[in-house]
Amino acid sequence: MRVVTGFDTDFIPSIGNPTFETDYPGDPDDELLVVETDDGARGYPVSILNVHHIANDTVDGVPLVVTYCPLCGTVAAYERRIGGRELTFEFGGKIVENNLVMRDEETGSEWKQSTGEGLNGELAGEGLDLYSSRMSTWEAFQIDYPNGTVLQRPDHSGPYLFQQFAATTTGLLEHPAGREVMDAAFSLVRAANLARDPEDGTREVSVSPFMKLLTGVVELRGWISDADSPDGSGDAYADVTSVFEREDTFGYLDLHGGPEQWEADGPDDLTAKTRVLGVTVDDDAVGFARPRVEAAGGLVRTTVGETDVVVFDADGTLVAYEDPGFPFERDADGTVRGDGTTWDPATGNSDDGRSLDRLATSWTYAYAWQTDHAPSSFYQVEVTDATA
């Protein structure tokens, strides 16, 4: 297990008191994680979660942590309580296997963001329960939930250090020699850690002595490009996620190593950053890659653990429900019919007033799903799925 430590907690500032409004100053195709409520729904824009990674919220009396890790693409909502004890989460100053580590303020225990697993501390071995949610766009959210509200940006002037660094990385990778500069900086970090600890220096890397170096790289990018560096005067929520979406980058580049495990064991028909819907029931987990669901006609039925599951391709994303037991058919225009009525696969609602039971799921990159589970945990297409 590769670990990167030594980040300051405020390198990625979590949201502790979220506010919501009906307006959102974003683009129609901006992604949101949607949590339905008794009176509508709440949308959590990825553009805001990308900056803060963690939002502590309470929905219909249930304390939740809504979280996103751009390194591995995991977005999920968890109940933030263990045994009746409510927890408040922040960035834990670590990254494990290209995944954010969260820390609860109450016990100091550390948690793996992509699985909700307690890693260290008093609550090690415990697990946070996934809460029902789905991905949507701002445009679709307004149609599906006319009374829905959207997470707002906390008051802050200028970019946070994480955003400055991500923007710098993006800028350098777009420069002909920029990657060489980034590789050199991270090689220095790794070499210093190996010199300090020859046995484990590449397995657990500390960036604590190098935070000033990271700040210097931000300034260096401006010097190399003969442009103003992102010094705090820009938009704190400017989109700089593209560096993490690139197929040739895994987390913080050379600091985290490369895609060796994916190249050795990953499915041939998927890329490392294919988006995957993760369905976990008890100890069984299945990752549904969208290309495979599309190949099955946009509708698949299977069993996860002892739960019968139906997965739809809806509005450009995937949604999973408990299988109600009757057949579904999907028309060429995407209309889903079943049991004498038409169904909206995105919301699970039918024209005659019924609703499917949505499963609690997560959304992640294929390589991260494989790391957390196994190559065999990806859903395999069966030709009879669409009409079974």
Closest CA to 307 of 360, 343, 370: 360
Contact 285, 278 (CB under 8 A): yes
Angle at 13 between CA 8 and CA 17, to 5 degrees: 145
CA of residue 387 relative to chain centroid, distance: 31
Distance CA 15, CA 210 (A): 26
Closest CA to 317 of 105, 46, 123, 60: 46
Report helix angle 161-173 to 211-225, nearest 10: 50
pLDDT score at 381? 80
Q: What are phi and psi of 325, to 5 degrees?
A: 100, -10
pLDDT score at 192? 85
Distance CA 171, CA 72 (A): 20
Contact 222, 215 (CB under 8 A): no
Strands 40-45 and 299-304: unpaired
Q: What are phi and psi of 188, to 5 degrees?
A: -60, -45
pTM, two decimal places: 0.87
Q: What are phi and psi of 117, to 5 degrees?
A: -85, 135
Contact 273, 366 (CB under 8 A): yes
What separation in angstroms does the CA of 343 have from each of 76, 322, 339, 354?
25, 14, 10, 9
pLDDT score at 252? 47
Per-block mean pLDDT, blocks of 10 residues, the chain (388 long):
79 93 94 94 95 96 96 95 96 90 97 96 97 95 96 78 70 71 76 82 74 68 56 50 67 50 84 94 93 94 96 91 96 92 95 96 93 92 54
Indicate the class that CATH gives domain 275-387: mainly beta
Report helix angle 178-196 to 161-173, nearest 10: 120
Q: Kindly write down the DSSP assignment for every residue of 255-320, as one continuous string.
A: GG--SHHHHHHS-TTS-TT-EEEEEEETTEEEEEEHHHHHHTTSEEEEEETTEEEEEEEETTEEEE
Distance CA 196, CA 286 (A): 40
pLDDT score at 248? 66
Domain ranges for the chain, please list them.
3-151, 161-258, 275-387
Q: Which residues contact 249 (CB under 8 A, 6 or more apart)?
A: 173, 243
Q: Which residues contact 224 (CB under 8 A, 6 or more apart)?
A: 172, 175, 177, 178, 181
Tokens 């990806």 belong to which residue? 378
pLDDT score at 193? 81
pLDDT score at 254? 44
